[in-house]
Structure 1
């Protein structure tokens, strides 16, 4: 496996590849939306405008399946941004990867900051064999959603929005549901709420991470010269096509669950 370029800042480990990919994902989504809305036209809409209108209508239908659109209309921008961000993030690791290699621990620095995981990899290699000359590879380009911290961050955002709205906008019904059907169920309801947060983020991470691991495994077939390369091409093509489908489904599932959780907190039991 490739090492991640992680630096230590004040006791916090910051993965530079994740930071890079979050910026790239945000820029791609921003550029798509900017281009799609640059020359809006009712009579002769462009392809990107048609795509954005279709995406918004798709998300509108998604929201309406979870709550009354009188309330759901307020979350249209949130849901559209979330599904686009996750889909683009899921796709970034498919077309190619950027990997650099170093042979000396002294080279493992960015702006004077040591890459701690790379230095640790060198130290482990030298502990096993002091005479070894390891070649450590660093992955810079990958899907940001293949990192658990990113997917859990997105899940926490959805969690805070849902429960913040429930607590401040629907206080009585929100607090009451923790004690239903009986007050003895309070601990169970708390565990259920926490489990939703964990599964929301881990489901997305597990699917995208597994896909990238399999792509890396298929790429290793090229080490077997031309026979491995010939075998890798159809396998890689098939899996990347399937990964596009999985990436789209996971973006959809994450957004649907977010809207379901929001609907459960902003609507009272009688409204369901």
Structure 2
């Protein structure tokens, strides 16, 4: 069962409260991990958190060195660490549990004095389509932020802007020249290629995480349908959650290394990328 998002309107703009909540939670977890890892630094007797952070640093340095000269890529170390930790934590948040509230009365669909428009609109549409029937709308408050297209595309959009800013400022001649290679009439194709990178960069992350959460939701629904469904869903859910951890890790890795690949291509001083 796909649940609605808790959306309110402020100043004519719509805000998804679940995404805002999950972004705050993700940022908080990443900040706490980083703070704990760097609180009591020691050369002679490093703690477990310090060892973990050192492993992350070495891992990201390996990603950088595999795509560009490490001296060129060293300024992007913090970017890579932030991306891989933020995306990994965000990918994992929707796996352990979910928080869902049910609404049957549109007049009660309010929070902080604001109407939850996604609920009231859904209830109205269902009542029009099925008059006289009781309508129940579920609202998901806890989920992976990367399972929302706006978050994944927002991350990809920030990288897109950064990549082209670096290309224009650090490799101006080569950056503009590569749009005309191998011939000038390839300009439209090269422009389409750049925007396709933006789309695939974000949608790959969104698609994998969203699909995983949909299947988890289906298995949970199966478990609540009958005794047989409950028995069958438990091992399936355990297996899929284990696989989702693997997928979430891979997607954090893929997003980060593609970021370095795109940066390398933009600042490359060679004639061809």
Q: 2:173 aligns to what? A: 172
Q: Structure 2: any 5+ residue segments left out of the alignment?
A: none
User: Are 2:163 and 1:198 aligned?
Assistant: no
Q: 1:44 aligns to what? A: 45
Shift of 1:270: 4.8
Deviation string, structure 1 residues 157-215 (Cα, Å, up to 9, x no partner): 11111100101121111000001111100010000000000000000000000000000
Shift of 1:58: 0.3
Change (3 A) 1:81 1:101: same
Q: 1:20 aligns to what? A: 21
User: Are 2:70 and 1:89 aligned?
Assistant: no
Q: 1:151 aligns to what? A: 152
TM-score normalised per structure 1:
0.98
2 CA distance for matches of 1:77 and 1:220?
Answer: 41
Q: 1:186 aligns to what? A: 187
Matched position secondary structure for 2:133: coil
Contact conserved, 2:180 with 2:187, CA < 8 A, in 1?
yes
Deviation string, structure 1 residues 203-252 (Cα, Å, up to 9, x no partner): 00000000000000001112233322111110000000000000000000
Alignment of structure 1 residues 26-65 onto 2, 5 Å: 26-65=27-66
Shift of 1:115: 1.1
Shift of 1:117: 1.1
Q: 2:259 aligns to what? A: 258
1 CA distance for matches of 2:13 and 2:61?
Answer: 39
Matched position secondary structure for 1:268: coil
Matched position secondary structure for 2:128: helix
Matched position secondary structure for 1:8: strand
* C-alpha RMSD of matched pairs (Å): 1.1
Query: How many residue pairs are counted as aligned between the two chains?
Result: 272
